[in-house]
């Protein structure tokens, strides 16, 4: 009996997966669905990185995925803040134009350009300094620009709708996407 169940599962799962993937793709915005169809391996690599990096036992819950994304967003904000914090030479929490120019003089051409362009963009009120509020806004915008949330995209392919994305589901989605419509 168990053998017949396994045989059925091996042959039926790809068909079920293909139908579930087709339905999930139809529910996504067209640009997103098109991107997934064009590069199923990229989708799988991202989902597997999330599972292996932040999940357990070959899968990840939605709550674990959302926590991992919040951590990633915080790390991106910290990276965006780094050059400005290194430019706050008097440690007063405000980065002035003079401080940025002194710091920029010690940097290579590319880093200098990024710092000066970033300073100009972050100085929202044009007063020649970047306050803590402006720094926070700049860091948030930079973090979101460098990588948005993908958990919702991945969990659209929770094929058994148990609230947990597994390696097996990701592999089934990759196979169904690669097989085409």
**For residue 93, how far is the Cα from the chain centroid?**
29
Cα–Cα dist 130/114, whole Å: 15
Going residue by residue through the chain, which has 181 residues, state the pLDDT in tens, using 9 for 90 and above.
Answer: 545 444 444 444 555 567 777 787 777 788 888 888 889 899 899 899 999 999 888 999 999 999 998 998 999 999 999 999 999 999 999 999 999 999 999 999 999 999 999 999 999 999 999 999 999 999 999 888 876 667 888 888 898 989 999 999 999 989 888 887 6
Backbone angles phi, psi at 78, to 5 degrees: -65, -40
Domain limits, CATH 1.10.238, in the chain: 71-146
Looking at residue 5, its pLDDT comes to: 42
Taking domain 71-146, whether its CATH number is 1.10.238 is answered by yes
């Amino acid at each position: 009996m168990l053998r017949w169940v396994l045989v059925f599962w091996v042959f039926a799962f790809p068909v079920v997966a293909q139908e579930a993937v087709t339905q999930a793709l139809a529910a996504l915005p067209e640009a997103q669905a098109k991107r997934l169809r064009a590069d199923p391996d990229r989708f799988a690599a991202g989902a597997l990185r999330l599972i292996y990096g932040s999940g357990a036992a070959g899968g990840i819950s939605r709550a674990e995925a959302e926590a991992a994304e919040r951590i990633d967003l915080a790390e991106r904000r910290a990276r965006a803040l780094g050059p400005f914090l290194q430019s706050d030479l008097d440690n007063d929490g405000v980065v002035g134009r003079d401080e940025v120019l002194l710091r920029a003089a010690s940097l290579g051409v590319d880093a200098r350009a990024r710092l000066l362009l970033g300073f100009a963009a972050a100085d929202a009120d044009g007063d020649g300094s970047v306050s803590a509020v402006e720094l926070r806004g700049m860091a948030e915008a930079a973090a979101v620009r460098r990588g948005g949330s993908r958990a919702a995209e991945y969990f659209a392919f929770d094929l058994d709708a148990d609230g947990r994305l597994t390696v097996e589901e990701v592999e089934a989605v990759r196979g169904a996407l690669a097989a085409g419509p």
